[in-house]
Structure formats: C-alpha cells, structure tokens
Structure 1
Amino acid sequence: MDTVANRLANETSPYLLQHKDNPVDWYPWGEEALRRARREDKPILLSVGYSSCHWCHVMERESFEDEETARIMNEHFVNIKVDREERPDIDSIYMSALQAMTRGGGWPMTVFLTPEGVPFYAGTYFPPEPRGGMPSFKQVLLTLADAYRNRREEVLRSAESVREFLRASTTAEMPRGRLREELLDGAAEALMRQLDRRFGGFGGAPKFPQPMSLEVLLRHHRRTGDREALAGVELTLRSMARGGIYDQLGGGFHRYAVDGRWLVPHFEKMLYDNALLSRLYLEAYQATGDGFYRRIAEETLDYVARDMRGPEGGFYSAEDADSEGEEGKFYVWTPRELREALGSEDASLAAAYWGVTERGNFEGRNVLHVPREPEEVAREVGLSPGELGRRVREIRRRLLEARGRRVRPGRDEKVLAAWNGLMLRSFAFTARVLRREDYLRIACENAAFLLGRLLSPEGRLLRSYRDGRARIAGYLEDYAMVADGLVSLYEATFETRWLREAISLADAMDELFWDESAGAFFDAPAGGEELVTRPRDVYDNATPSGTSVAVDVLLRLALLLGREDYRRRAEAALEGLSGLLEQMPAAFGRLLGALDFHLGRPREVAIVGRPDAPDTRALVDALYSVYLPNRVIAGGPGGEDASLVPLLEGRGMVDGRATAYVCEGYVCKSPTTEPGELLRQLREG
C-alpha cells in the first residue's frame, strides 16, 4: 500500500522507517492519528520498540508483515508506531501502564488505547500462533476489537482506572526523609548484599552492567576507605571486560549478558552503555592506577570514534544484534574461521587466549572471551607475558580486519541529544585523564554539532537528528545531559563558551521542566503536547533519569558560579526523593552520586594560566590523575573569565607561573605552582 509507505517514509527514525513498507496502515504518533481514532470511534493499537530490539524485529516478521494480521489491524484499529528512543515521554507513560497491568514490561510494547489515548489493555510480544499458554496476536486483536464494540462500558471502566493510576503515579507526594550521609552508607550496604561475589555484577541472569550502581560503590570507597566495596567494583569490571559482553576485538560493550557470568551477550551495542562504562573504567583507573581499566576505556572510546560517529560530529544511537538475519553472526568465530584469517599457528594462540573450541559456547560458534589469566596462557604456549601481549595485539588487529569484511549489523544513525551529552562528558573527561588531544577534538566537534544542529534559534534544544533534519522538542534528560557534557568540556578546555551554553540550558531546564507546586522536575515541558499525564520518571535505569542529571549539574554549576538559586532547586529535588533513595537505592545510582556531592565537601580547584602553556598543562595533568568525584574545576588566564566564574576572581599567577588554588568548605589552601604540591593538597582528607 503506497499510503502506508508514504506515511512512515516521512519519519527520520530508522525504527519507524523499517516499518514503512508493512501492509499495516501505520501512523506515527501525532494529532492526525488521534483525530482519526476519535472521528471513526476506533481503539488505538500502539506499538513501541526501537531499532536494535531483537523481538521487535521478530514480531514485525511474524505479524506486521503478514497480510491477514495487517487486515485485522487496519479494519479494527488506528495503528500507531513509536520509537521509544525518540519519544521517551510516550514510552514512559505507557510502560507504567503495562507494568501496572501485567507486573512486567519490555519491548516490543503493545498497548491498546481508547481514542483519547487512555490504555485499557497491554502486553509485549504476541506470537503469530497460540504458544506456551499465550494467545496468538490475531486472537488478541479480535477479542479486543469485539470488547470495544460490544462491551464498551467494561473497556471504559478499565481505562479510567488506569488513567487514575497514571495520574497518581506522577503527581503523588513522594515519601520524604532527611538528606544525610547514612543514606549513602545504606545504599552501599544494600548494593554489596546484591553483589555476585563470584562473577561480579548484581543478581543473576540476565545480567546488566549497572555502571551507576558500581559508581556508588566506588564513591563509597573514596569516602570511607571501604576496601570490600572497591573489591566488588574491580571484580565486576574485570569480569565484564574479560567476558563476551565486551567486544574483545572491536572494543565496546554489548547491552547485557544472557547468563550470570558475562559470557554470552545480547549483541546489540548502545551508545549510552558505552558512554557510562568508559567513564567508569577511567574512574577505576584513577582510583587504582591499574592500566587494565585504562585500556578498556580507551578501546571503548576508540570503538565509538571509529564506528559510532557521524561525519558532522554527532554520535549514533545503536548497533543491532543481528546481521544476515542471525543474532551475533558478526561477532562469533569457529576454529576454522580463525585458521582462515590467521594461519594455524596464530589461530592456535588465539583459540587458547579467547577460549575458542570446536564445540563452541554459542550455537556451535564461539563468543570470544578471556577465560584464563594471560600468565597461564603464556606459560602454556611457552611465551613471556610481554611477548604474549604483543602477539595478541597483532592477532586482534588482523581478526578485526577480517571481521570488517563480514556483513555488519544494522546501525541506528539517529543522533539523540541526551545520549550525545553522556558521550560528550566521557570524551571530555577521558581526554584530560589520558592526555588524548584527539579525544578532546572529538568532544569539541560533538559540542559544536549539538549546539549548531540541535539548538533552535530561540535557544530550545531538539531531541533527535538524522539526515540533516532535527526534530522533536527536547525533554528534561536532553537539556540536563547536554548541559552536563558541556560543563565537563569547559573543565577540560577552560573555554567559557561551553560554560555559557551550559548555563543557558540550565536556565531553560528550570523554565520548562520545574514545577514549583510539586517541588519536582517533570520529563516533558509544561504546556507541551497533551498526553494522558505529564510524564515524570525519576528512576535511574539503563540511563540516568533527567532529574538525577539535572540535580547533579545544578549542584556543580552552583559551586562553579556561586548560583544559590541553582543550589536551592537541586536541594529541593533531592529532598523530594529522599524517601525513595532510602527505600530503593539500586534505582538511584546517579542521584546518589549527586547526594554524595551535596553532602560532601567538594573541592573547588582553580587553575590560573594560559590553557596551552606547559606549566598549566602540568597542573591539569596532576589534577586529573586523582579520583576525585566531588570537585569542580575552573581555569583560564583570568580577566573575562573571572566575571563569569567567581572561583577565578582576584586570583592570578604566582611569579608569572601557572598557579593552582584548592578550596574546600569555605577554606582555601596555599596557592601552588608545583604539580606535586597540588597532588598533596588534593589527597588530603
């Protein structure tokens, strides 16, 4: 049907474009579809997914490409397809409804709505034929169409109860407690109880990385000296990096492991996972000095720079799990494929190092992992550890080259503001920790892209960009995460233009998303599109919530700029969630980091000197060599910078040399021009 292809063909989301040739009469979310549902008095079938979702593709092949299923959908429903990554507001609202109705959730998400958009039935994947106690999708469609036509009162009662639940869940008063250090200690204790002491991570299969929870433990170690917390972080980071969840050849992390020991991944790669994990590995390197964590962080960011970066400087969203219709086919190996790529001698070494066997560990093939200590492999093959490392690096290069000739998984090339903000933060931070000027250039180009392509002339941020088109008004997480990335870039460059842009976004965030009567941030702007309820998701899930990042960045800007209004706003949001922090610490990893900053005595570090001068660089290198999560950095030659950043006011160079000033809790230490003395001051207390 040409009209079907034409309607979704106007979208920029690769996920929606994948469905443009379905025989289903799909609409994107919008007034046209809702108006038709009201006019024809038809229920809405809302299908939500994303481009790298394996079961979304399965349901499309089985049902949405099937002519008979499509005929039923088109006859009885107005069908709307949504990319959850483009529209987190819609995803959040209807996922809450799905979880309330079924006590479960996930994607594909299939929700049936009244013409007013109120859900009355919900599920996830439905098979084409009855299976394992599940009805077929066609049975579900016909049953619900009949119910809407012939048992309308029953459907409307169900919808009204869901509407009341959704309204209550976003407007209800949250439990409150006091903001105190015991909240942080209790969170660390709760996470340590959930820690898998054998393989690391939290809980069993399927196992997700949960970088924000690991950061809570790393901060706890920094604050208290608790060695057990650090050991839990290190066990997890090593196990993941040696497992199949980490791409041993190309770098970067897959979404999660289907088992409890990180061996077999779900092979999709998400930008946000790699943004959060690369920074966490760098922080572990700062905390321990162990070069292993540095290597994993670098390989991860090298992967992003190589495979996930567009020509204009934006970062793409995801890579699929599937290629050529098979999950993981791009990544897995047989012994024969190793021999063909390497020759028998190097293939034997590769098999010994990465655990490759004839039997395989994934459907007769092998997910590469490092099951044994490299020293053990070195002894077995008669090499020194250093020589083994050199040989493995060369073999890795050749295998990556050979893999590059395979059919790659699909790539979702939409650029999302929020996820780019996360990655900007990681590149800017890593550039300074590792003295990688190429990373700093990538960060600056990304920031320029975001501000040039996703910022409207009125200073409003747009969420999604692809093929020259930016669209969809930004959400709280977009403003907060881009502002957060820009603050990190200012701290890495001392260029005040990045700080000014961060301030502009923070002010817009306050105007658009803060609700004074609720004392809370909402995810969508006031006065925006009329939805069943105004979404407000405060939990840190796979990505930190918009609220968590907003609180964190406001606290840092408050300290940098002396902005008491920012501090008050952040503190009010924290207080509003204090009871939930106590009840469910695992759901608030990033917010707990913000609380740690708020309750701690953050260091205020000012470095006065020419940014590109060797003596300034030496002080900056010393500053970034220390794991110091609770700190803000200001820098530059003074002058104009001092009028914007009070930390620089009245401070100059000593004896014509770059000078560092360290303050904490309204008390300042002696200014120093020596990197060694700066390190000593930072490590005190």
Structure 2
Amino acid sequence: MTNRLADATSPYLLQHADNPVDWWPWTEEAFDEARRRNVPVLLSVGYAACHWCHVMAHESFEDAEIASFLNTNFVPVKVDREERPDVDAVYMEVTQAMTGHGGWPMTVFLTPDARPFHAGTYYPPAPRPGMPSFRQLIEAVSATWAAQPGEILESASAVVEEISRHASPLPPSTVDANVLAGAVVSLLGEFDRRNGGFGGAPKFPPSMALEFLVRHHERTGSVEAVSMATATADAMANGGLYDQLGGGFARYSVDASWVVPHFEKMLYDNALLLRFYTHLTRVTGSARYERVARDTASFLLRDLRTAEGGFAASLDADTAGVEGLTYVWSFEELGSAAAAFGVTAEPNFEDGKSTLRFVSEPGEEVRAALLAKRALRPQPGRDDKVIASWNGMAIAALAEAGAFFGEQSWISAASEAASLLASVHLVEGRLLRTSRDGVAGPSFGVLEDYGCLADGLLALHQVTGSIRWLDLACGLLDTALARFAVPDSPGAYYDTADDAEALVRRPADSTDNASPSGASSLASALLTASLLCGADRSSRYFTAASEAVTRAGLLAARAPRFAGHWLTVAEALVAGPLQVAVVGADDMRRASLWAAAVAHVPGGSVVVAGEPASVPLLEDRPLVDEGPAAYVCRGYVCDRPVVSVDALVTSLTANTP
C-alpha cells in the first residue's frame, strides 16, 4: 500500500510513499488532522541524496511496529528540504538552538498549530550512549503529550517567542576596501596551511570564499588571497573529493585532507565550483584548472542534465544501499594505474577499497577504460527534480565557462535550461521552485530562486546578446524587490514572499552557507543588472544592491567564511564594475574583440556584444570607421573606443595590480 506521498513530485517524498508510516505532505490538512485528533505532529525533513536519511528510513520508518505507533499517536509529516527550504530553515533554527547542532534527517515534534517543542536529527533503532532509540523517543513524547499537554504548549510558545526575538535585520555597516582586506586576514587565520581549505574535518568546498579571494587578488594583487585560493583548488582537485574519472565534486570530505568524500554530488556545489575553476584558469592560465573546469562541465551535462533540458538536483551518496559503491577501487582492480591514483595495498576507505586521488597523469586511455568499467557497476540514484535557484547557478556557470573556453554547446545547454525555467517555472511573473519531468511542483519560489535565476539569465544575456534573458531577469528582480523586502529596513530581505504561506516565523537568513543566501544572490544580480538594463532601472538596482551589501556588513566583517558571496559583490562595488560593450555586425573582428574581453575582464565585469542599440548597454555606442568597436567603462567613466584586440587588452589590463 502507498500513503499520501504517492502523488508527490519530489523524489525524496516518493522514496517514502511505500513506508508503513502514514505520511502526510506539509499541508494545512495535516495540521487540521492533528487538531481533530488532538495529537502532536512528527515532522521529518530530509532530501533524496542524504545517506543518514536513508539509514533512518530503513531502520525506523520501514518498521511495522514503529509505524503503527506513529500512525496512532502522531500525524507524521514528511518534507523535502530542497522543495521547501522555508520550512527547513525555520525548524533547523529550532533544532540548532535546542541541541547545539543541526543536520538531516531532521526530526521535530510540533503542536497541532505547528509550534515546535522537541527537536533532534538522526535517532538509531537501539539506544546509544547519550541518545535514546527512536522508539523510546516517540513513546516518551507521546506519554508527555498525554500527561502534560499544557506544559508542552507553554514550552512551544516560548520556543517560538525566543526564535522570533532574534529575527531583526543586522544594522547597516559599511563594506569598504579596509573591510575586504580585513576579511582576507581573517580567512588567513582560519586557513589550513597543510591541507588547504578552512577549519578541520568535515571539510566542505568553500566555493564562495574562494571566489572572493580571486576577485580580491584581481583588484589588489594580494599574494595571500590567490595563494589560499590556489592551494585549496589544488587540494580539492587532487583529492578524493573530486571524481578523478568522471569529473565533478562530492558534497564534502569526511577528513581534513580531502581524501575520503561523502559521495553525494550536488548540482549547486558543481555549478559554483565550475565557475570558480573557470575564473581561476583566467587568472593563472593553469592547464590543470582548465581540465577540472572542463570535466566538471562534462559531468553536469552527462550525469545531471534532464530530458527536458534542466539539471537534476543531485546524485545519491549510496548505491544499492552502500555508500560510495560506484566510486571506490581495490589495489588489484586498478593494476598498473594504482600509483597514478595514489592507491596502495593499504586501503583508505572500507572493505579493502580506496578513493582515487591525483598523483600523476594516468593517460586518457587509462582514464577512459576505468570510467567504462565503472559504468558497468550499479549507479547511484538521481534526484531529478529541477530546482530554480540551483539551475540558475548552473546556467551562469555554463554560460561563463562556455564563453571563456569557447564551448558553444555549453552555452546552448544553458539556454535550454533557461527556456525550461521560463516555460515551466515562471507563471504570471512568479516563480515556482521545482519541477520534475516538465511538470511544476507545488512550492513557490523563495528569494534565492529569484536571485540565482536572475543571475544566471544575466550571464546568459551577456554571452548570447539576447534581450529575452535580460527582460526576464529584470522582471524577476522587480518582483523580488516588491515582494521580499523587509519594510522600513532598506537592504534587508525575507526569504519568502509577502503572500507566501505563513509559518511560525518568516525566515530571513543572510548567511552564505552551502550556496549563496537569497539576499546575497539578489544583491549580486541587482548589481549586474544595474550595468545592463535601461536607465529606468539602473539607479534603482544599484542603490538596492549597495544597501543590501551594507546590511550584511557586520556579517562580512566578523564571519567572512559565511559571507563569501557578499564579499564577491562588495569587491565589485569597491572596484567599480567594469563594462565592455562590443558593437558591430557579427563578423570576425567583433568576435575577436568579444573573446579578448571575456578572456581579460576581472570578476564582476559585464561584457555584451551586438548591433548598436540592440540592448541597453550598446545604446549610443556608434561604430568606428563603419566597423566593430569596443567601449570600456569603469563605473561611469569610459575610455575611447578601440578597434583592435591589442588596444582592448591594453585598456583592460591598464589598472591591473
């Protein structure tokens, strides 16, 4: 028998559709049922690629006795955190406040009006030191609800009051060149000089902090900034975190030296890292970084692209219930290739197997043969829902990388993904967050969807010259400014729209975590759009971007590891974003000028080519001697137009540190 999740569009919810637990999706009807029966709600939050979510599901939610107890004494509600990031954010804040840590699966007990009174993460099937079994937990919660309902309701009210007390926006604080230099110093203090990256195990790819360091180096020439970026790029790409055969990065490393990954592969990580390695290639000219960027793009197109042209959310950490089964190798299986991949008779993983690292180049034939052999193994499951914000990141990365490396097929893939988002996710100017098999899901877009998708569309506009993408991006930004802004707090934004479902608290988290926060992604897109759109919007967008960065100033100054995307936007503001307009017919000279601009502009710049007046940036830019010309502007000051590649490169590099 299936439960109420059978009709869901979320693969994670569908994974639980055959559980004996009588799951409800997150709906008002579920809470009506809890009120009718006067029982608490068990909220279980996870996602399809989550290893420990699978473990808890198998141990507890597939157990008939546990399911029977849950069905009798609770209304069980299952939520895909990727589909409902607003629900996840509110109750993760509660979980972290109550337990001092968070993670998935997340297990929260709610009153029938959705107020939390007990929270945790994974619970085992048998008690462990300091941790009850899941059966013990649900029995204790049920007994307490029956015996002391008044105390639980009072406690739940206190929890909601406490989290609401800390919901005010940060006060404005300037982010200038001194703050940016101080952020580099702070990052240097947390930098792992032996292994690269920041902090200890588990170690996550610090994509946005690395992007900031590259931009800071471009503006100032800082050796410290680029050294941290390249050392971390080397360590990640040479370790087990990176798929040495198929390209692409795993979610994180369980050790400090990047050797053993947690094998799930997320779209947002790989989109952010593709963008970073592309930009690092531009700065360093490294063939190794180019190879990593190219192989990561190939991974996106080969393994995550959906039939409709979008990009799937993730690949599972597990294969056939075994973590990493697809990816690890024994010394004997590798034979003469073992040394190139750093594999010895002493395994570094489980069951006599090892992850692969880059020690020396094994050769294309060897890599291809091993990849073909791996393809015959069972493969990890794929969560093939399309998420608006994550696809926005992929669109931006493929558009920029395609332009820089001269790969038109990557730009075409980005355009197809954008077309899918425009036709399926965008309804009467409002975004829906997810789709699957070309069918939109039920959840409305949150701020990060508007910011990241607008950012991707703006990148696509620059590399294609199509006004369609600019118009769509500006429409998204107008909606975001109107629907998500915190009243009377310029630069502050909620993560949900003013007409979204009311939760116990309206979430507003400006911290950059695994991916850009909604507010920082919006600020980035606003700044870029201010350089590309017409005069009717330019000043308004620039002011909004500046106010947003100022509102995040204290975060950027005090916790730069968690403000990486904010810092990249601030770098562009301090530098005065550079604009290159290449006007003229589509001929070899225009193509050469455009390619030279793409190859030499620093991060945060905009480059557009096309016929004069075809898009706003090209207006009032006449041809020179009836042929193509390039106009270079910094802030509101423009150089004389140039017609040769050498002159353009000289203009672009004149102020390079």
Same fold (TM over 0.5): yes
Name the counterpart of 2:114.
117
Give 2:438's match in structure 1, choosing from 448, 465, 468: 468
Deviation at 1:613, TM superposition (A): 1.9
1:663 aligns with 2:633: yes
Deviation at 1:651, TM superposition (A): 1.1
**Which piece of structure 1 moves more, 461-470 or 540-549?**
461-470
* Preserved contact between residue 391 and residue 453 of structure 2 (Cα < 8 Å): yes
Deviation track 1:316-375 (CA, whole Å, cap 9, x = no partner) reads 00001111221111001113323xxxxxxxx31x111012223321111111112x4x3x
Paired amino acid for 2:430: R
* Preserved contact between residue 432 and residue 440 of structure 2 (Cα < 8 Å): yes
* Preserved contact between residue 250 and residue 303 of structure 1 (Cα < 8 Å): yes
1-structure distance, mates of 2:238, 2:601? 24
Paired amino acid for 2:619: E
1-structure distance, mates of 2:527, 2:628? 27
Name the counterpart of 2:588.
614
Deviation at 1:188, TM superposition (A): 1.0
2-structure distance, mates of 1:210, 1:580? 16
2-structure distance, mates of 1:617, 1:670? 19
1-structure distance, mates of 2:372, 2:587? 39
Name the counterpart of 2:507.
535
2-structure distance, mates of 1:354, 1:589? 32
2-structure distance, mates of 1:625, 1:650? 25
Name the counterpart of 1:511.
482
Name the counterpart of 1:233.
229
Deviation track 1:182-207 (CA, whole Å, cap 9, x = no partner) reads 21111111111111111100011111
Paired amino acid for 1:669: D
* Preserved contact between residue 583 and residue 609 of structure 2 (Cα < 8 Å): yes
* Preserved contact between residue 48 and residue 316 of structure 2 (Cα < 8 Å): yes
2-structure distance, mates of 1:640, 1:361? 57
Name the counterpart of 2:147.
150
Name the counterpart of 1:72.
69
2-structure distance, mates of 1:305, 1:11? 26
2-structure distance, mates of 1:224, 1:530? 45
Name the counterpart of 1:341.
none
* Preserved contact between residue 594 and residue 607 of structure 2 (Cα < 8 Å): no
Trace 1:30-429 onto structure 2 (pairs within 5 A). Answer: 30-170=27-167, 172-338=168-334, 347-348=335-336, 350-363=337-350, 364-370=352-358, 372=359, 374=360, 389=361, 392-429=363-400
**Which piece of structure 1 moves more, 526-535 or 574-583?**
574-583
Deviation at 1:627, TM superposition (A): 5.0
* Preserved contact between residue 428 and residue 443 of structure 1 (Cα < 8 Å): yes
**Which piece of structure 1 moves more, 239-248 or 217-226?**
217-226
Q: Cα gap change, 1:580/1:232 in structure 2, threshold over 3 Å: closer, same or farther?
A: closer
Look up the SS of the partner of 2:640 in the other structure. coil
Q: Sequence identity of aligned pairs in percent?
A: 47
Deviation at 1:98, TM superposition (A): 0.5
2-structure distance, mates of 1:336, 1:178? 58
1-structure distance, mates of 2:528, 2:244? 36
2-structure distance, mates of 1:230, 1:474? 36
Look up the SS of the partner of 1:605 in the other structure. strand
Deviation track 1:162-214 (CA, whole Å, cap 9, x = no partner) reads 101222232x2413322322211111111111111111000111111111111
2-structure distance, mates of 1:565, 1:437? 34
Give 1:480's match in structure 2, choosing from 430, 443, 451: 451
Give 2:543's match in structure 1, choosing from 551, 565, 568: 568
Name the counterpart of 1:633.
607
1-structure distance, mates of 2:571, 2:233? 22
Name the counterpart of 1:676.
646
* Preserved contact between residue 188 and residue 216 of structure 1 (Cα < 8 Å): no
Deviation track 1:100-157 (CA, whole Å, cap 9, x = no partner) reads 1111100000000111101000000011111122111111111111111211222122
Deviation at 1:225, TM superposition (A): 1.1
1:29 aligns with 2:26: yes
Query: After TM superposition, what 4+ stretches of structure 1 lie above 6 angstroms from structure 2?
Result: none
2-structure distance, mates of 1:278, 1:619? 24
Name the counterpart of 1:386.
none
* Preserved contact between residue 119 and residue 163 of structure 1 (Cα < 8 Å): yes
Deviation at 1:6, TM superposition (A): 4.0
CA RMSD of aligned residues (A): 1.3
Deviation at 1:219, TM superposition (A): 1.6
Look up the SS of the partner of 1:634 in the other structure. strand
Paired amino acid for 2:356: L
Paired amino acid for 1:622: A
* Preserved contact between residue 163 and residue 532 of structure 1 (Cα < 8 Å): yes
Deviation at 1:45, TM superposition (A): 0.4
2-structure distance, mates of 1:640, 1:300? 34
Deviation track 1:417-469 (CA, whole Å, cap 9, x = no partner) reads 1100000000000111001011111111111111112111x121111111232
1-structure distance, mates of 2:13, 2:394? 25
* Preserved contact between residue 600 and residue 630 of structure 1 (Cα < 8 Å): no
Paired amino acid for 1:617: A
Deviation track 1:2-34 (CA, whole Å, cap 9, x = no partner) reads 3xx141001011110010111111000011101
Deviation at 1:221, TM superposition (A): 1.3
Give 1:452's match in structure 2, choosing from 416, 423, 438: 423
Paired amino acid for 2:197: G
Name the counterpart of 1:492.
463
Look up the SS of the partner of 1:446 in the other structure. helix
* Preserved contact between residue 287 and residue 627 of structure 1 (Cα < 8 Å): no
Name the counterpart of 1:559.
531
2-structure distance, mates of 1:413, 1:56? 18
Deviation track 1:218-268 (CA, whole Å, cap 9, x = no partner) reads 122112211122111111101111100000000000001111111000000
Q: Cα gap change, 1:305/1:470 in structure 2, threshold over 3 Å: closer, same or farther?
A: same
* Preserved contact between residue 13 and residue 78 of structure 2 (Cα < 8 Å): yes
1:590 aligns with 2:565: yes
Paired amino acid for 2:627: R
Gaps of 5+ in 2: none
Paired amino acid for 1:207: K
Alignment coverage as a number of residue pairs? 649
Look up the SS of the partner of 1:521 in the other structure. coil
Paired amino acid for 2:609: G
Look up the SS of the partner of 2:426 in the other structure. coil
2-structure distance, mates of 1:277, 1:468? 27
1-structure distance, mates of 2:356, 2:541? 48
Q: Cα gap change, 1:661/1:227 in structure 2, threshold over 3 Å: closer, same or farther?
A: same
